Structure 1
Amino acid sequence: MIIIIALMVLFTTFLFCMYILQKIFLSDKRIEKRVQRYLQQSDKEILESKKFRLALQFMQKRNSIKNKLLTKEKNSKLESLLTQAGLPLKPEEYIMFQGIATILGTGLFFLLFENVFIMIIGGIFGFLLPKIIVRKKINERLKKFQDSLPEMISTIVGALRAGFSFPQALNSVMEEAQSPVKEEISIVLKEMQYGTSVEEALNNLKERMPSEDLDIMIQAIVIQRQVGGNLATVLETIVDTIRDRIKIQGQISTLTAQGRMSGWVLGLLPIFVGVMIYFVEPSYMSVLFMEPIGIILLIIAAISCFIGFMLIRKLTSIEV
């Protein structure tokens, strides 16, 4: 019965949050239509229109809320992270989803466990969940770009040997490549068309896709444009190096798979066992969350598990 009530409350909260998001973030089109309609009227009618004044007040309030929640530095940082993750979200939308996740996490943990301490943990988990998802998306996109990098360089080498210029070679890569290489090369070409130099456009690509192999390729291109030389031959050597490195990394990943799995098991096993005991005998586990000594022991156990997990991860991560 408690689970059904919790699901109903969560579903109602979800509908309410979606309504708020629709009112806040999907209101631009309605406001634009209103502005266009009022622009066709006379100045006197515009000044006398209460709806138009309300729309302007709403836009001013919304901008003031954005300025209070997002500073210029935080806004640019969030834009960079969302671009790296390939998510079509604005920074203010990300902040709104983060707030919704915090509220849902707090309410869900309180309904399931009916404990204030666990409720705070649920709020922290909900607050960190969007960051974890964005970071996971960034890592997946970066890995996909890294795996496609040898094919991209090979395409550039083939185009240069065929007599194409470097921008034309990038254009051929954009036409043949898949996501995320296609989107990133498209951004590079657009920046070059808008007047950005080749070196600056490639450095911007390196900031969006922090990869050692990409850095080597960009440095080779920049040096070749400064001192001259056969760029196709240099890039072909870089491709062979990257492929050998990827092959060695695959072998290392296979050999260290057991150690990495041991780290995950040792880190998550205490949490899993604690949750199972709580569902079997809640009164037995609730002492840990009610007594000060129990809370101190939980904090020590969490820190110990985290340190053990990081040590195992450090031992199984070998740089090539």
Structure 2
Amino acid sequence: MENLAPLTLGVTLLCCVLGVAGIHVYASGKAQREALVHRLSSTQQIPTVGRQRRFRGVDRRLKSTGLGKKIEIRLAATGLDLTLGEFFVYMVATIAGFWLIASWLLASFFGPIAALIALWSAFAFLNWQRQKRIEKFINQLPDLSRLLANATQAGLALRMALTMAAEELEEPAGEELAKVANAVAVGHSLEDALNELAERLPSRELVVLVTTLILANRSGGKIVSSLRNLTETLEERKETRREVRTQLSQVTMTAYIVPAMGLGCLLFIDNLYTGALDKVTSSTVGQLAILLSLGLYTLGFFLVRRLAKIEV
């Protein structure tokens, strides 16, 4: 018993020392973590000055899903200043609004149909914005080819020429070329970076330009004459695309006007005979007739759009 008291006192002192050391290590690690978070947040303030992002929780949850990743890729190709969470919340709000408006103006039967149309319209809007960005990039390709030809003729390497073109050109060419330059700077090969550019903005003109640059980079030969010829070809294709788009503008408008006329007829009938749509959609035959007419309008819309789509 006499030896037990010093042993207990020693063990107690050892536990106190270990406790103090553990608290010191914990406090030091916490301080280092806070300093690291502060340093990282201060460095990330530069690219996020534009506006404060909303719905961050929704954005984090969606990014962990496969559907969210696919939507994020499509959203990134549009160049819109929207996060995945913002787009999803706005899309859900639009679908709910279409459902309520259609149920109020027409009949409750049209609510789910309007919601489906709103869902399709949201993704059609992404495709339209992506195609619009591709068209704008294609229109910049002659200037890009001309800049690369002048830079390589002046003795600059192809990588330096792409960096210079990224600084000179406006959006979206400047942003996309900056991505190529950054990818090369962090260790990616020039061929991989250019192929990624062609995948983000697929077009025949860009594929031709990327192929020319890759072959020139592999062989190490001069590409000034090739780029000069390519510039003239791109200018001609640019004018041809503009003429074709002008000729097909009437057909494209027809694809949108005809379904709008059908919707206008429904509104006119419902206003002329109050409750007519409710009576029609209350029976199975009326619902089938409405669905058949909507299917025919949809089929006509896609057929007209397909006929007006001419690859140049």
Contact in 2 for aligned 1:104/1:126 (Cα 8 Å): no
Does 203-212 or 126-135 show the bigger shift? 126-135
Partner of 1:3: none
Partner of 2:232: 240
Partner of 2:81: 88
Contact in 2 for aligned 1:192/1:198 (Cα 8 Å): yes
Partner of 1:30: none
Q: Which consecutive unaligned segments of at least 5 residues does structure 2 have?
A: 1-29, 35-54
Contact in 2 for aligned 1:106/1:119 (Cα 8 Å): yes
Cα distance in 2 for residues equivalent to 1:69 and 1:133: 20
Cα distance in 1 for residues equivalent to 2:298 and 2:94: 24
Partner of 2:184: 192
Cα distance in 2 for residues equivalent to 1:75 and 1:233: 45
Q: Specify the code of the residue in structure 2 equivalent to 1:83.
A: A
Partner of 1:53: none
Aligned-residue sequence identity (percent) comes to 22
Q: Give 1:95-114 correspondences, 5 Å limit.
A: 95-113=88-106
Q: Which has the higher helix share?
A: 1
Q: Deviations over 1:48-88 (max 9, x none)?
A: xxxxxxxxxxxxxx999777655553333222212111123
Q: Specify the code of the residue in structure 2 equivalent to 1:122.
A: A
Out of 166, 176, 191, the position equivalent to 1:174 is 166
Q: Which consecutive unaligned segments of at least 5 residues does structure 1 have?
A: 1-36, 42-61
Q: Give 1:143-182 correspondences, 5 Å limit.
A: 143-182=135-174
Contact in 1 for aligned 2:99/2:112 (Cα 8 Å): yes
Q: Specify the code of the residue in structure 1 equivalent to 2:255.
A: G
Partner of 2:42: none
TM-score normalised by structure 1 residue count: 0.73
Q: For CA contacts below 8 A with separation 6 or more, give which structure has more relative contact order.
A: 2
Cα distance in 1 for residues equivalent to 2:133 and 2:300: 28
Q: Deviations over 1:204-259 (max 9, x none)?
A: 11111111100111111111222343212112222222221222222222333333
State the shift of 1:129 in Å.
4.0
Q: Specify the code of the residue in structure 1 equivalent to 2:174.
A: K
Cα distance in 2 for residues equivalent to 1:252 and 1:80: 30
Out of 117, 141, 162, the position equivalent to 2:133 is 141
Q: Pick closer, same or farther for the CA change 1:151–1:77 going to 2, 3 Å.
A: same
- Runs of 4+ with deviation above 6 angstroms: 37-41, 62-68
State the shift of 1:110 in Å.
3.4
Partner of 2:18: none
State the shift of 1:186 in Å.
1.0
Please say if 1:220 is aligned against 2:212: yes
TM-score normalised by structure 2 residue count: 0.74
Partner of 1:285: 277
Cα distance in 1 for residues equivalent to 2:251 and 2:115: 32
Cα distance in 2 for residues equivalent to 1:260 and 1:128: 18
Partner of 2:108: 116
Q: CA RMSD in A?
A: 2.9
Q: Pick closer, same or farther for the CA change 1:94–1:258 going to 2, 3 Å.
A: closer
The structure with the larger Rg is 2
Cα distance in 1 for residues equivalent to 2:185 and 2:193: 10
SS at match of 1:265: helix
Partner of 1:275: 267
Please say if 1:78 is aligned against 2:71: yes
Contact in 1 for aligned 2:144/2:165 (Cα 8 Å): yes
Q: Specify the code of the residue in structure 2 equivalent to 1:109.
A: A
Contact in 1 for aligned 2:63/2:69 (Cα 8 Å): no
Please say if 1:208 is aligned against 2:200: yes
